[in-house]
Structure 1
Amino acid sequence: MAGTRSTGRRERLRAETTAEIKRTALELMGTGGPDAITLRAIAREMGMTANAIYGYFATRDDLVTALIEDVYTALADAVDAAWAASAQGGTPAARIQAWAHAFRDWALANPEGFRLIYGDPVPGYRAPDGGPAPDAARRVCVGIAALADAAWTGAEPAHGGGEFDWDDFDPGLLGKVRLAFPALPPAGVALALRIWGHLHGLVALEVYGHLSAQTLAPDKLFRAELGHLVGTLGLA
C-alpha cells in the first residue's frame, strides 16, 4: 500500500512539473518570442538544473510538439463544443456565429497558444511525421468545412467561386473535408477557406495588437464582420 501511494505521489508531482514546464515555455514565448523557448531558459525560470529538465523532455522539439498538441486540442475542444451546443434549433447563421465567437474567445484567452499554432514559428523546430497535432488539426479543419456546409445551398451564384475544381486544393485538405462532407463541391471547399480568411484575419489582428490603436471596440467590429459575412452568404 505504501509503495502504491509513493508511486501515485511521484506520478502526480511529475504531471505537475510537466504542466509547469509548459506554462513557463508559453510565458517565455509571450515575453521574448518563439526564440525564448529553450529548455535551459525554462529550467532557469523554474529553479531547476538543466539536467533535471531533460528528464521531462529530451529535446526542445519534444516540448514544442507537446505544447502544440495541448494548445491545438484545447482550441478544437472549444469550437467543437460551441458547434455542438448550437445544433439544437440553431440556424446556419447562428451556428457559424457560435463557432466564430468560440474561436475568437479562445484566441484572446490564449494569445501565446494562438501565436504558437497560427503565427510565430519556433526557429529550427522540426515537427514529427504527420504533424505535431494531427487529430486536433483535422478537427479544426473539419469544423471550418462544417461552416461552409451549413451555408451551402447548392446555388453557386449565391456564394460565387463556381470556377473551382478539385485540382485547386491540397490533397491532404480534400482528404479531410470530403470524408466529412462528401456532397460539398469544389466551390464549397473554396467557400470554407474564404470563411476562414474572414474569421482568422480579424482575430489575428486583434491577438497581435494591431487593432488596439484603431478601435476601442474590437468585439463590435468582429460582430459586424460576422453579420456581413452571413449576409453575403444569403443567411438571415
Structure 2
Amino acid sequence: MVSTRGIPGGRRERLRIETTAEIKRVALELMASGGPDAITLRAIAREMGMTANALYGYFATRDDLVTALIDDVYTALADAVDTAWRTAATAGPAARIHAWAEAFRGWALDHPEGFRLVYGDPVPGYRAPEGGAAPEAARRVCTGLAGLADAAWPYAQELYADSAFDWSDFDSGLLDKVRPAFPDLPPAGVALALRIWGHLHGLVSLEVYGHLRSQTLRPDKLFAQELAALVRSLSVPASS
C-alpha cells in the first residue's frame, strides 16, 4: 500500500495515487500468473472491478503502463545495488563485489515479477519510448557493473594484457554510460564488466525461474561459491 499522507491536492489526488499503485500491482500479479502477454488494460480492469475506459484515465495505453512498471522496477533494483555498494564503500574490492552481487540476487528473489519484466521475456508488442523505458536507472545499473570491473581491474588487468577488444566492439549507448564514470577503464575492462554480468545473471535467472529447484536445496550456497570463484579468477584477494 502506498502511503498518501501529506500529499498535496486533497482526497482526489490521494485516491489517484492509490489507484495507480494498485493498477501496477495487479499488472505484475497478472504477469506472474499468466506471463508477460497477460498484461492488458482490460484484464487489469476486470481484476479491479473497473471498466477499461476508467483505466484510460490513468494510463492512455498498455505501453504507457508497461513503461511505468519498467521504470519503477529498474529504479528499485538500481537503488538496492547502489545502496549495497555505498554501504561497503570502506571495504576492499572483493567485499564490494560480493555486496553488489548479493544485493542483486536478494532483490531479484524478493521481486521475481519485476525481474521477469526487465530481464525475462519481453511483453509482446511493447514499444519503449525513445531513450528507453528507464534511462536513468539503466545507466545506474550499467555503471554499477562497470564499477565491479573497475574495482577488480588493478588485480585483473595482467590477465587481459593481450585483449583484442577495442571501443568499436561496444554499443555507443553503453559507452556513453560507462566511460564518463570510469574514464581509466579500458575496452578490456568493459568486456570484463559484461563477463561478470553473465556470471551473476545466469545463476540468478535460473533461480528466479525455478530451474534449480530439482537440482539443489541450497541455491544460496551455489551462488556464494560461484561468486567466490569469480573473485578468485580475477586475482582479487579474498580479504581485500
Q: Normalising to structure 2: TM-score of the pair?
A: 0.93
Following TM superposition, by how much is the alpha carbon of 1:55 offset from its aligned partner in structure 2, in angstroms?
0.7
Q: 1:64 maps to which residue?
A: 66
Q: 1:29 maps to which residue?
A: 31
Corresponding letter in the other structure for 1:95? R
Given that 1:142 and 1:176 are in contact with CA atoms closer than 8 Å, whether structure 2 keeps it comes out as yes
Given that 1:161 and 1:190 are in contact with CA atoms closer than 8 Å, whether structure 2 keeps it comes out as no
Q: 2:57 maps to which residue?
A: 55
Q: 2:201 maps to which residue?
A: 200
Q: 1:225 maps to which residue?
A: 226
RMSD of aligned alpha carbons: 1.5
- 1:77-121 CA-partner distances (Å, limit 9, x unpaired): 000000000002x11000000000000000000001001001110
- 1:176-229 CA-partner distances (Å, limit 9, x unpaired): 111100000111011100000000010001001111110000000000001000
1:141-160 to 2 correspondences below 5 Å: 141-153=142-154, 156-159=157-160
Corresponding letter in the other structure for 2:212? L
1:104-115 to 2 correspondences below 5 Å: 104-115=105-116
Q: 1:169 maps to which residue?
A: 170
**Measured at CA, do residues 14 and 161 of structure 1 come closer, stay the same or move farther in structure 2, by a change above 3 Å?**
farther
Identity of aligned residues (%): 76
- 1:164-186 CA-partner distances (Å, limit 9, x unpaired): 11111111111111110000011
Q: 2:189 maps to which residue?
A: 188
Take 2:58 and 2:118, find their aligned partners in 1: how far apart are those partners?
22
Corresponding letter in the other structure for 1:139? R
- 1:9-46 CA-partner distances (Å, limit 9, x unpaired): 11111000000000000000000001100001000000
Take 2:120 and 2:83, find their aligned partners in 1: how far apart are those partners?
24
Q: Normalising to structure 1: TM-score of the pair?
A: 0.95
Q: 2:16 maps to which residue?
A: 14
**Measured at CA, do residues 159 and 217 of structure 1 come closer, stay the same or move farther in structure 2, by a change above 3 Å?**
farther
Take 1:232 and 1:127, find their aligned partners in 2: how far apart are those partners?
37
Following TM superposition, by how much is the alpha carbon of 1:160 offset from its aligned partner in structure 2, in angstroms?
6.3
5+ residue gaps, structure 1, are none
Following TM superposition, by how much is the alpha carbon of 1:8 offset from its aligned partner in structure 2, in angstroms?
1.2
**Measured at CA, do residues 191 and 51 of structure 1 come closer, stay the same or move farther in structure 2, by a change above 3 Å?**
same
Following TM superposition, by how much is the alpha carbon of 1:161 offset from its aligned partner in structure 2, in angstroms?
6.3
Following TM superposition, by how much is the alpha carbon of 1:159 offset from its aligned partner in structure 2, in angstroms?
4.6
Following TM superposition, by how much is the alpha carbon of 1:157 offset from its aligned partner in structure 2, in angstroms?
3.1
Following TM superposition, by how much is the alpha carbon of 1:153 offset from its aligned partner in structure 2, in angstroms?
1.1
Take 1:217 and 1:32, find their aligned partners in 2: how far apart are those partners?
28
Take 2:185 and 2:87, find their aligned partners in 1: how far apart are those partners?
23
5+ residue gaps, structure 2, are 1-6
Given that 2:156 and 2:236 are in contact with CA atoms closer than 8 Å, whether structure 1 keeps it comes out as no
Given that 2:179 and 2:185 are in contact with CA atoms closer than 8 Å, whether structure 1 keeps it comes out as yes
Take 2:16 and 2:158, find their aligned partners in 1: how far apart are those partners?
57
User: Which runs of structure 1 show a deviation greater than 6 angstroms over 4 or more consecutive aligned residues?
Assistant: none
Given that 1:161 and 1:191 are in contact with CA atoms closer than 8 Å, whether structure 2 keeps it comes out as no
